Structure 1
Amino acid sequence: MSDDFSIDDMDRAIVEQLRLNGRATNQQIANVLGLTAATVSARIRRMEDANKLRVVAVSDFSAHGYNVLMEVAIEVDGRPASDVAAELAGYPEVFAAHLVTGRYDIDMLVVLREFDDLPGLLLEKFSKVRGIRSMVPAIAVDVIKYKFDVAPIEARGDL
């Protein structure tokens, strides 16, 4: 796809409808926007092909019995941080792992079913990963925002 691909107002309207209801059919979106389902389908496919849009499902961790959300900042020593992050990302409790700049090398978001699972995770699992110098867990006491539509479709036409 060419680099001059641009998103127009109709594309942004389609994306907004998908954000409001990720399960909306092309026909439902078309009805709201005054288009045909074929037009909606073609525009979605065009944005996907240009890597401007990806439709994904996001699951609510609390709906699956995970009651503890925790951020863990990790300092690495003696091993590449990317290797440590890749190993940690293999644990099912880790739902996001990032290499970061600053005091720490890795930042992770972790979910647990209950607080009683915390010692086992930190002391029996994570502490066995070679290269971890320190871990600083921070338990979320309240979730203020939990959204994954973080890549705005900007009015400029380029992303």
Structure 2
Amino acid sequence: MQSRRPLGQRSSPDGLLDDVNKAIIEQLQQDGRRSYAAMATAVGLSEAAVRQRVQRLLDAGVMQIVAVTDPLRVGFHREAMIGVRVTGDSRIVAEAIATLPEVDYVVLTAGSFDIIAELVAENDDHLLELINSRIRAMSQVLATETFVYLRLVKQTYTWGVR
């Protein structure tokens, strides 16, 4: 079993990810609605100090606090991952794909695809429109491969922090 160091002993170069902030992040990963008071008790700080630390983490872009929905229950009946091969600067295409409101995840990759994007669509016609008229229509897109989701088996955001 790994021994834990006391809070505050490890920190990132900028000091933002010390053990207290990591503990706060872990608290919020377990329950994004956890109160500042409950987190304060868990990490040994005042409620005001926790509130300030959470705001700094949000402002720095280290984390977001959002509601994660089930797309099927909010009107999107098709989810897919799209592998995209491009010519030229893949960052430009990735940024363009990221502007599409149906796209919720875009990564630049190494391997057979330059970009992988996850999207949600209302139905198969909407998915076809997104792929053909919006993604494949981009001049730098050479090819796409679509992976349609049949069932989501696991989706979690509780991996903690290192």
Fold shared by both chains (TM-score > 0.5)? yes
Cα contact 1:81–1:105 (8 A) shared by 2: yes
Select the structure with the greater relative contact order (CA < 8 A; seq sep ≥ 6).
1
Residue pairs, 1:74-89, within 5 angstroms: 74-77=84-87, 79-89=88-98
State the TM-score, normalized to the length of structure 1.
0.75
Choose the corresponding residue for 1:90, options 99, 105, 108. 99
Percent identity (aligned): 23
State the TM-score, normalized to the length of structure 2.
0.74
Residue pairs, 1:1-159, within 5 angstroms: 3=13, 5=15, 7-8=18-19, 11-31=21-41, 36-44=46-54, 48=57, 53-62=62-71, 63-77=73-87, 79-150=88-159, 152-154=160-162
Against the structure 1 CA distance between its residues 2 and 72, is the aligned structure 2 distance closer, same or farther, given a 3 Å change threshold? closer
CA distance in 2, matches of 1:97, 1:50: 22
- Higher mean displacement: 128-137 or 109-118: 109-118
CA distance in 1, matches of 2:114, 2:26: 35
CA distance in 1, matches of 2:153, 2:81: 14
Secondary structure of 1:144's counterpart equals: coil
Against the structure 1 CA distance between its residues 68 and 12, is the aligned structure 2 distance closer, same or farther, given a 3 Å change threshold? same
- Higher mean displacement: 15-24 or 89-98: 15-24
Q: CA deviation at 1:93?
A: 1.4
Against the structure 1 CA distance between its residues 94 and 71, is the aligned structure 2 distance closer, same or farther, given a 3 Å change threshold? same
- Higher mean displacement: 119-128 or 11-20: 11-20
The aligned amino acid for 1:41 is: R
In structure 2, stretches of 5+ residues that fail to align are 1-10
In structure 1, stretches of 5+ residues that fail to align are 155-159
**Which residue pairs with 1:157 in the alignment?**
none
